[in-house]
């Protein structure tokens, strides 16, 4: 025990005197979590509070384009631009402006859309009405005009993200569908000619998001609830870099060789490092949680709500730390130089984060990546954090995930010990 | 590096045994094997009748190792380094503290005990490097070129201290390129080249048995030749 204790003391002294290492361990994660949360939160606010200017080219000049214009104006998302330099916009001008990035979106309403839509609906309704024997005989003798399908064109700035594109397209699609439905109802009304027959045009089916409740309080997910666990985990895994450098340095300084000749097993040395770096992980974690609770409200972000979750979150952080430490020990053992361990450590942590769903949720990934994601320790940690913070689970329910994290630690550390023993051949 | 071949050697209690040879002769390989860092592909050896296969921990408790490089943590102080390495030998409490103070004092470093190793000169680092290997009073001490690159004062302090340890019962096995130092310091010597022992005996015995040799350097040249041992 004394040897382990002295190893822990030594590791703390080494860390205390390594300013660069301390910055990586404590300052960078805080900068990271504050920056990323601020950016993501402000992006969210931009989408919801600031109107995005879009170009509308109205070649229709009818009721449909007017409805589109009115609906877009009414929405909180967009502000409609129909003129540039006091001149009406043509499709050419709109396309150029959007492709140059001056606007994110242009909507081109085709000529005669309103007239053609109404004609098409009239034809369809008349057809139906005549089939059920309610039609005017003179109307059925008129030859049907052939109406071609109309296309509302959308031009997007190529730099616009796919998620934004999809959201806009879906909202315009919905708007067009509503216009069509309304026109159909109105035409039926007119055809039937009964003034008292009023169709209810409000949506019959609506939806409402039911937000999970903890202790009878609704838990509203926000950028902080999502970002703090994700980036805390990312920071915890960055421990791989100083830890692997620490091990590589011991090899290059010769202290590792000295330890090999001492009556102490490599396991004791590893345990010393594990205890020290686990403590570092926990300090990192509590610092980030403290910042998210106490500092965030002062910089315009929501405070992190950890009510009743701190213990389970600490458990997840500890086991995530173990997984990161195991990876760091393995990397430090296999690498021969700091030039190998530092860039590889940084890159691999970023890859693990990407695979694990820190940046892009796993459920939107391609199938193959979803399978790979399940093998990332960062995914196990992230899911465990979300389980605790957002899904209100119990310790029993996170045991499978934290067991995987611990198993990862055991496997990576065992490989490191085995590799080291093989390499020394004694 | 030449591997060791057809190699047989006995080192007795209380000797100061010098392993001398040109670069690549196999000195460091031999020391590494004796310290348990490299496993021989064939053959065997024992230390105090113990072998590494069955008694690795027992051997490591009775040996001390002073590697060629400064095997110390540069950002820790001399005292912190010595407390750490001493504790790895099982020393603790006042025994460890007193031993660290005593040896630092003997080697003229006590007033620098709380300075970081990275601020030390080469000679000071060599002395701390030596102390880190002898805190537990080893029965057998292995030193790989313990005086390389140090000033005369540090070299004298190291050699004097090693003699003091030897007088107190420590068997010393060391490698060096300083033949004059070895001639004065060692009770027995083996001259190695290309992984074999070319000669062994006391320094004076080797000088007398080599025609026209006036010192150990001339014995060395007559046995190993004047060719460079450059290899990459």
For residues A35 and A66, membership in a common domain is answered with no
Task: For residue A17, give how far its alpha carbon lies from the nearest alpha carbon of chain B (Å).
Answer: 7
Q: What is the average pLDDT value for chain B, to the nearest integer?
A: 84
Question: How do B196-201 and B188-193 pair as beta strands?
Answer: antiparallel
Window 47-106 of B: residues touching A by CB (8 A cutoff) are 52, 56-57, 60-61, 63, 65, 67, 69-76, 80, 83-85, 87-90, 92
How confident is residue A426, by pLDDT bands cut at 50, 70 and 90?
A: very low
Strand (E) or helix (H) holding A72 = helix A63-74
Residue at which a domain ends, from A171, A192, A213: A192
Sign of CA dihedral A342, A346, A349, A355: negative
pLDDT in tens, B17-54: 888 888 877 888 888 888 888 888 888 888 877 888 78
**Chain B environment of A17 (Cβ under 8 Å):** 75-76, 116
**What contacts A155, CB < 8 A, 6 or more positions away?**
A94, A95, A98, A99, A105, A106, A108
Q: Which of A170, A192, A214 is the last residue of a domain?
A: A192
Under DSSP, the state recorded for A262 is S
Q: Does A422 contact chain B (CB < 8 Å)?
A: no
Q: Which domain holds residue A390?
A: 2-43+222-424
Identify the three-state secondary structure at position B136.
coil
Please indicate whether, in this complex, the C-beta atoms of B69 and A254 are within 8 angstroms of each other.
yes
Same domain for A304 and A376, yes or no, is yes
Query: A386 with A417, same domain?
Result: yes
| ipTM of this complex prediction, to 2 decimal places | 0.84
How confident is the model over A360-365, as a mean pLDDT?
72
Distance CA B36, CA A140 (A): 105
Q: What is the pLDDT of residues A37-65, one digit of tens each?
A: 777 766 555 544 557 788 899 888 888 88
Contact criterion met (CB < 8 Å) for B88 and A3 = yes
B9 in a domain, yes or no? no
Q: Which of B33-47, B91-105, B139-153 has the highest mean pLDDT?
A: B91-105
Same domain, A228 and A183: no
Whether B229 maps to a domain, the answer reads no
Together in a domain, A252 and A375: yes
- Contacts of residue A258 in chain B, CB cutoff 8 Å? 65, 67, 71, 85, 132-133
Number of structural domains (chain A) is: 2
DSSP string computed for B24-76: TSSHHHHHHHHTTSS--SS----BTTB-HHHHHHHHHHHEEEE-SS--S-TTS
* Residues A141, A243 within the same domain: no
CA atoms within 13 Å, Cβ hemisphere of A343: 4
Domain annotation covers residue A199: no
Residue B47 lies in a domain: no
Task: Kindly state whether residues A226 and A275 are assigned to the same domain.
Answer: yes
A400, A402, A403, A405: CA torsion to nearest 10? 130
Contact A6 B87 (CB under 8 A): yes
Residue A202 lies in a domain: no
Residue A150 sits in the same domain as residue A275: no
Residues of B in contact with A2 (CB under 8 A): 87, 90, 92
Q: Does residue B217 lie within any of the structural domains? A: yes
* Confidence category of residue A405, pLDDT binned at 50, 70, 90: very high
Phi, psi for residue A315 in degrees, rounded to 5: -60, -45
Q: Tell me: do A376 and A274 sit in the same domain.
A: yes
Overall domain count for chain B: 1
Q: What CATH number corresponds to the domain at position B59? A: 3.40.50.300
CB-closest option in B71, B72, B75 to A17:
B75
Q: Among B57, B72, B116, select the one facing A263 at the smallest CB separation.
A: B57
Please name the member of B56, B65, B87 whose beta carbon is closest to the beta carbon of A3: B87
CATH number, domain containing residue A158: 3.40.1710
Residue B1's pLDDT band (cuts 50, 70, 90):
very low
Average pLDDT over residues A73-100: 83
Residue B171 belongs to what domain range?
16-40+55-224
Residues in Cβ contact with B111 at an 8 Å cutoff, skipping those fewer than 6 apart: none
Q: Compute CA distances A68 → A154, A156, A172, A422, whole Å.
A: 13, 18, 8, 72
Any domain includes B10: no
Q: Which residue of B has its CA nearest to A18?
A: B75
* Cα A192 from Cα A239, distance rounded (Å): 74
Tell whether pTM > 0.95: no
Helices marked H in A291-394: 310-334, 338-356, 367-373, 377-389
Find the closest chain A residue to B135 by CA distance: A262
- A176 with A306, same domain: the answer is no
Residues A32 and A78 in one domain: no
Asked if the C-beta of A3 comes within 8 angstroms of chain B's C-beta atoms, the answer is yes
Measured between beta carbons, which residues in chain A are less than 8 angstroms from residue B116?
17
Residue B6 lies in a domain: no
**Residues A128, A162: one domain?**
yes
In a domain, B4, yes or no: no
Each residue of A171-193: b (16+ CB within 10 Å) or e? Answer: ebeebbeebeeebbbebebebee
Asked whether residue B128 is assigned to any structural domain, the reply reads yes
In a domain, A197, yes or no: no
| Alpha-carbon dihedral A351, A356, A357, A360, rounded to 10 degrees | 30
């Amino acid at each position: 025990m004394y040897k382990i204790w002295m190893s822990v003391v030594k590791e703390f002294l080494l860390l205390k005197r390594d300013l660069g290492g301390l910055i990586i361990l404590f300052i960078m994660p805080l900068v990271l979590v504050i920056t990323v949360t601020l950016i993501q939160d402000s992006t969210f606010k931009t989408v919801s509070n600031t109107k995005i200017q879009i170009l509308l080219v109205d070649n229709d000049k009818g009721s449909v384009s007017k409805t589109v214009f009115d609906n877009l104006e009414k929405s909180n998302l967009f502000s409609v631009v129909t003129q540039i330099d006091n001149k009406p916009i043509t499709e050419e001008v709109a396309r150029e402006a959007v492709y140059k990035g001056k606007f994110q979106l242009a909507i081109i309403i085709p000529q005669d859309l309103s007239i053609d839509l109404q004609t098409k609906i009239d034809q369809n309704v008349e057809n139906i009405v005549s089939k059920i024997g309610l039609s005017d005989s003179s109307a059925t003798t008129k030859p049907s005009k052939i109406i071609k399908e109309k296309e509302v064109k959308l031009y997007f700035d190529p730099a616009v993200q796919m998620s934004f594109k999809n959201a806009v397209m879906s909202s315009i699609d919905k708007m067009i569908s509503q216009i069509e439905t309304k026109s159909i109802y109105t035409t039926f009304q007119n055809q039937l000619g009964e003034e008292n027959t009023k169709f209810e045009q409000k949506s019959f089916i609506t939806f409402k998001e039911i937000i999970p409740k903890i202790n009878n309080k609704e838990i509203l997910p926000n950028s902080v609830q999502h970002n703090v666990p994700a980036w805390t985990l990312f920071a915890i895994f960055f421990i791989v870099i100083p830890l692997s450098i620490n091990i590589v340095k011991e090899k290059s300084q010769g202290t590792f060789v000295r330890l090999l000749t001492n009556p102490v097993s490599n396991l004791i040395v590893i345990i010393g490092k594990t205890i020290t770096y686990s403590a570092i992980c926990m300090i990192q974690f509590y610092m980030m949680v403290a910042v998210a609770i106490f500092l965030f409200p002062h910089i315009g972000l929501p405070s992190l709500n950890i009510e009743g979750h701190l213990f389970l979150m600490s458990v997840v952080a500890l086991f995530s730390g173990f997984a990161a430490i195991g990876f760091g020990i393995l990397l430090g053992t296999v690498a021969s130089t700091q030039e190998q361990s530092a860039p590889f450590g940084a890159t691999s942590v970023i890859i693990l984060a990407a695979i694990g769903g820190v940046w892009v949720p796993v459920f939107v990934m391609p199938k193959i990546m979803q399978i790979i994601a399940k093998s990332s320790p960062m995914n196990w940690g992230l899911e465990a954090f979300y389980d605790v913070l957002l899904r209100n689970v119990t310790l029993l329910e996170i045991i499978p995930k934290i067991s995987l994290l611990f198993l990862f630690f055991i496997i990576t550390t065992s490989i490191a010990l085995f590799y080291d023993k093989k390499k020394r051949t004694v | 590096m030449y591997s060791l071949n057809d190699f047989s050697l006995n080192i007795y209690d209380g000797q100061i045994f010098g392993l001398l040879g040109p670069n690549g002769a196999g000195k460091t390989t031999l020391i590494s094997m004796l310290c348990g860092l490299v496993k021989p592909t064939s053959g065997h050896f024992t230390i105090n009748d113990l072998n590494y296969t069955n008694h690795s921990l027992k051997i490591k408790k009775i040996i001390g190792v002073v590697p060629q490089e400064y095997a110390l943590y540069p950002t820790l102080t001399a005292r912190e380094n010595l407390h750490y390495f001493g504790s790895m030998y099982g020393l603790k409490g006042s025994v460890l503290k007193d031993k660290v103070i005593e040896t630092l004092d003997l080697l003229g470093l006590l007033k620098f005990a709380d300075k970081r190793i990275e601020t030390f000169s080469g000679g000071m680092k060599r002395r701390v490097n030596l102390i880190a290997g002898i805190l537990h009073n080893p029965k057998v001490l292995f030193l790989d070129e313990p005086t390389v690159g140090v000033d005369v004062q540090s070299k004298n302090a190291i050699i004097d201290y090693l003699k003091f340890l030897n007088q107190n019962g420590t068997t010393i096995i060391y490698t060096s390129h300083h033949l004059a130092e070895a001639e004065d310091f060692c009770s027995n010597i083996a001259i190695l080249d290309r992984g074999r022992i070319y000669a062994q005996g006391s320094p004076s015995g080797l000088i007398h048995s080599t025609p026209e040799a006036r010192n150990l350097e001339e014995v060395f040249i007559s046995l190993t030749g004047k060719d460079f041992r450059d290899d990459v």
